[in-house]
Amino acid sequence: MRTADIRTRFLDFFAARGHTVVPSAPLPTPDPTLLFVNAGMVPFKPYLTGESPAPWPRAASVQKCVRTLDVEEVGRTTRHGSFFQMNGNFSFGDYFKEEAIAHAWELSTTPVADGGFGLDPARIWVTVHHSDADARGVWRRVAGLPDERIVARGDEDNFWSMGVPGPCGPCSELYYDRGPAFGPEGGPAVDEDRYMEFWNLVFMQYERGEGPGKSGYPILGELPRRNIDTGMGLERMATLLQGVDNLYEIDETRPVLDRAAELAGARYGADAEDDVRLRVVADHVRTALMLLADDTVPGNEGRGYVLRRILRRAVRSMRRLGFEDRALPELLPVARDVMAPGYPEVVDSFARIAERAFAEEDAFRETLKQGTAVLDTAVAKVKALGGRSLPGRQAFLLHDTYGFPIDLTLEMAAEQGVEVDREGFTALMNAQRERARADARARKSGSADTAALREVLGAHGPTDWRAWEALETESRVLALLGPAGAVPVARTGEIVTVVLDRTPFYAESGGQDSDAGRLTGASVEADVLDVQRPLPGLVVHQVRVTAGELAPGDGVRAAVDPEWRLGARQAHSGTHVVHAALREVLGPTALQSGSYNRPGYLRLDFPWRGALGPALRGDVEEAANRALRRDLPVAVRWTTLPEAKELGALALFGETYGERVRVVEIGGPWSRELCGGTHVERSSQIGVVSLVSESSVGSGMRRLEAAVGLEGFDHLARERDLVTRLAEQVQAPRAELPDRIASLLDRLKAVERENQRLRAEATAGRAAALAGEAVDADGVRVVTTVSDEGRALALAVRDRLPARSPGVVAVASEQGTFVVALNRAARDRGLSASDLVKRLLDGRGGGSPDVAQGGGLPRERVGAVLGDVPRVVAGA
């Protein structure tokens, strides 16, 4: 059964049982504690924790997920991948244990012909929490499972929580016995390779308190509404139903692995280390495809760095397999084709995906060149000082600054006879990881205080929020909270969460960033860094104390930075203007599906097929700025939701609204939206709207970005200066600049094509001459030469040797690289390029049986090593 069919069958099963099918959320998540969705429940977290009412009593989804905490282990185990899909069914206070268990059992064991997965009931084992007698009883009653196949486990395995105070509960996991070929008998407690977990049922029924790890925290009591959160691993079910060994061999992964093996001249299953590299390539190429499809862009931090690292590990693994050409143009289309049945957007967006991926591979290839130069210099310095070990800080510099993988540093240093201070490197890496963990803990602390915040809300009621009418308020500190809960006092330099009885600060919502400003009191000054609404009605402020001390009960003046607020009002009103301009130019279907704005900047997502193009972009920008020039009035009115809809007000992207709603109008009906943000009083106060970019953010979804206010004028000024400099450099009037640049590019391309033709002719001519100079070594034609063309020349000469005669070509460069290429007749005779390189270079280097290379060959030894090739070939 194809993976796409398993996905469809799962959703159809739960749809028929009253579940609302919810589409997968994008991999990048707005959750501040995460970079990517890493579990099927993440999009449902507000409903499971009770922060928001669920729109449906029960739901089902197949959620895309990415986990990269242990990315170095990908491929070394056969049960975990960085990208995976989680089938989930959820109940929000509706059904509980008995129905959840019955659903899982029915779908798992119903025959395929009747809509199930057809697993043999006699081979299914389950685990339950040791205290959960209810679940054990349900498994006996619903599934008829004997006690020996219901295994009791402790908190580490069978009790779930988010790692912070909040909902928690026992789990029940389903395992399938794959047979004695996969390990010893005895159930999942004995061997989890033979007994593969494929479904986890979480019975969310308690609320936990503070505490470390997976156990040892107090259980505060029962939740008012019990929830169900389940996760069935799609790749694991595909592994079982397709009868393969592991998730790297299912229909959505194996074709990428096979193509990688074909390119590298490797055979999966022949060499353990090569198998790891092939699995890394298969996993990482698929992960990169899905991240790029969700508009993640390679970069140096956050989500972008994760994607960059994954792409580079895939490319590096191909190089270690002996394939040094561009790999992604060969592999990414394969991943696209296997994922398309479940995610057609990867086909629609492939041009954008490929452009970013191929550019990243090209940049990494350049990085490898730069890193190699830095490494060579460092190694030369070590040798000049009589040393034999490259310092760990130098290896870390290569890794952290140049993106140079440590395994590459180790390999290349060994080729030049130098060791690497691995302990020093590891210490620096561990320090960096600890900083990253501390940062993750800091991000997670926002949700760690939920219980304390509920106490504050219960004791003092909702925040008196005055952001719409005031920039300053006289306020009182109700509570100070840190990552571990309430704190008695905050001193200079400390960052704490502050709850005030009233505030003028806008809390981030509706796409608008939070306000910036200060808190000042008799003995304290503090900067406001962030403002959020973690609970309905409660506004909290993250502040850094810059002078003095702050304590609960203190009176403070809360003041918003007026320049910040002005910029925020311009950007939010600008978002409404751009939205209205879009609908004016493109029609009513161009409806905003997401937005973000902060002072000087706005972005807006909307459904549209294909790029807008310069003409349409110009029309939208002109319509927006015409609205600014008309100085349209901006008005706010309160009404009921039905009345607002009757007026034609737009309610956007699933926001929740109360009985009374706030309608913001710009020019009356021209722009009329439900909105809780801050706005200018007339459209001319926005200043200017300058569109900066328009791009794709998924299948059928586009994104506009714009600079507004002073930042808009700055953007236009920079564009003007750029055009002026270009016109001066190419010595053309501005009006003729596009034609002049196009002409120059055409000439450059023509010259490059001619250069490539001449180089190819030169290489071909030299290759033919060298092939004619081959010497005999025990029946093998051997060609040796010195050239900087390396691999290209070696392959060209090899292809000109007689196909039926064994042939070996060795090319050395004055820079110390050494390449060996064999034809098929030589390989059939038992020769291996990788073995020959290692023999000639004393164990250094490697590659595939037909092409291999090494480095670090001293210039004075080039002639001797080349002269030794015939003897080594004859001996081999």
Sign of CA pseudo-dihedral 353, 595, 508, 535 = negative
576 is known to lie in a ligand binding site? yes
Backbone dihedral angles phi then psi of residue 806, each to the nearest 5 degrees? -55, 135
Nearest-5° Cα angle at 755, 753 to 759? 120
Paired sense of beta strands 807-812 and 780-786, if any: parallel
Tell whether 675 is in a known binding site.
yes
Q: Is 541 annotated as a binding residue?
A: no
Closest CA to 164 of 54, 67, 33: 33
**Given the DSSP bridges, would you call strands 502-503 and 517-521 parallel, antiparallel or unpaired?**
unpaired
- The H-assigned helical ranges of 16-95 are 45-48
Task: Assess contact for 280 and 256: CB atoms under 8 A.
Answer: no
Q: Which residues pair with 202 in a beta bridge?
A: 171, 229
Nearest-CA neighbor of 552 among 485, 477, 454?
A: 477
DSSP-assigned letters across all residues of 28-47: B---TT-SB--STTGGGHHH
Q: Got the DSSP string for 756-775?
A: HHHHHHHHHHHHHHHHHT-E
Q: β-strands 485-486, 472-482: how paired? A: antiparallel
CA-closest candidate to residue 25, choices 290, 224, 243: 290
CA distances from 255 to 6, 159, 168, 317 (A): 18, 37, 40, 17
- Extract long-range pairs of 115-124: CB within 8 Å, 24+ residues apart: 115/9, 115/12, 115/13, 116/9, 116/13, 117/1, 117/6, 117/9, 117/237, 117/241, 118/241, 119/176, 119/240, 123/176, 123/177, 124/149, 124/174, 124/175, 124/176, 124/177
Q: Distance of CA 263 to CAs 323, 505, 663, 845, Å?
A: 7, 58, 60, 19
Query: 679 among the known binding-site residues?
Result: yes
E strands present in 154-310: 159-161, 166-177, 195-208, 219-233
Strands 807-812 and 660-666: unpaired
Structure tokens given for 611: 């790029």
What is the rounded distance in angstroms from the CA atom of residue 398 to the CA atom of residue 374?
8
Q: Within a 13 Å sphere around the CA of 288, how many CA atoms are in the beta-carbon half?
A: 34
What is the side-by-side order of every strand in the sheet holding 601-607?
A: 594-598, 601-607, 701-708, 689-696
Q: Residues within the annotated binding site?
A: 572, 576, 675, 679
Q: Residues within the annotated binding site for Zn(2+)?
A: 572, 576, 675, 679
